[in-house]
Amino acid sequence: MFDVLLLKTFVTVVDEDGFSRAAEKLHLTQSAVSGHLRRLEEQIGKPLLKRTTRSQQLTADGERLIAHARTILALNRDAWAQLTRTPFQGRVRIGVSEDFVEPRLLRALQECAAQHPGMQIDVQVNIPGTLLNQMKQGDLELVIGSLCETREPGLLLWQEPLVWAWAAQPVTRLPTPLPLALFPEPCPYREAALTRLAQAGIAQRTAMLCTSSAGLRAAALAGFAVAPMAASQLGQGLAALGVEAGLPVLPDAEFRLFTASHADPQMIETVSRVIVDFCSTRRQ
């Protein structure tokens, strides 16, 4: 018989893509997580992961077990939720900015809903300004997104530099007027970029209007336009232009969790805790 605790550890290691993140999420030490996986492998007599110093990959037996493990854990959660008769009944509508959407967050929200059968979680992706307006109109209960130099009330999850993203190549001289890739209004990154350029007396033009982060990245990677972007979103092939390129310093991007006044307090507290826990490991 499989030990549910060992299966949970195995699934978490796979979902979190590593022992360190899994240990954070499970509130265990990394050695305890390794011990759980080792015991599971000993029970079935086969390796489940191919591990190197930099990566891990499921073995053929690991691929077979992971599907069964997810099913067993889901049945366990459903049985527990039904027998404990959760009091939650209703829908939580969450607005998420695109630079915040990650599979790990969606899995965490899915697990939360599975533990509370009376709860339904719906997610809408858009730019923060639009999402906050929808929340004020009563269309959303929670909003997760980043703003710059804001006075909007909200729980600060973390903050990081907002940078000018450009192709990772030597820069001799930037075009004039400066070509920009921007989200439409109301976007905090757009507003911060245009304000700082105007204060510095730097001419600019909107070379590309984007509706997704993928569009911003494509414009910057191609060297078609400079894009204001949170530093953690740069990724391979992009670099941050600084004062050496003649560009002004941008304000920090503040990632916050906003809660509607009309939301059910108990239900929102439960979902908010999931989001805060996710953010505590995301920034490791």
For residues 282 and 259, give the distance between their C-alpha atoms in angstroms, rounded to a whole number: 21
Q: What are the boundaries of each domain within the chain? A: 4-84, 89-284
Q: Which residues of 6-17 are buried (b: 16+ CB within 10 A; e: fewer)?
A: bbbbbbbbbbbe
Q: How many CA atoms lie within 13 A of 178 on its CB side?
A: 27
Supply the CATH classification number for the domain 4-84: 1.10.10.10
Which H helix or E strand runs over 38?
A: helix 30-44
Mean local confidence (pLDDT), 253-275:
87
pLDDT value at 82 more than 70: no
pLDDT in tens, 30-71: 899 999 999 999 988 989 998 766 678 899 999 999 989 988
pLDDT at 284: 45
Percent residues over pLDDT 90 in the chain: 38
Supply the CATH classification number for the domain 89-284: 3.40.190.290
149 confidence band (pLDDT: 50, 70, 90): confident
pLDDT in tens, 157-216: 888 999 999 998 776 688 899 999 999 888 889 999 999 999 999 999 999 998 888 899
Distances (CA, A) of 211 to 96, 208, 217: 14, 10, 11
pLDDT value at 88 more than 70: no
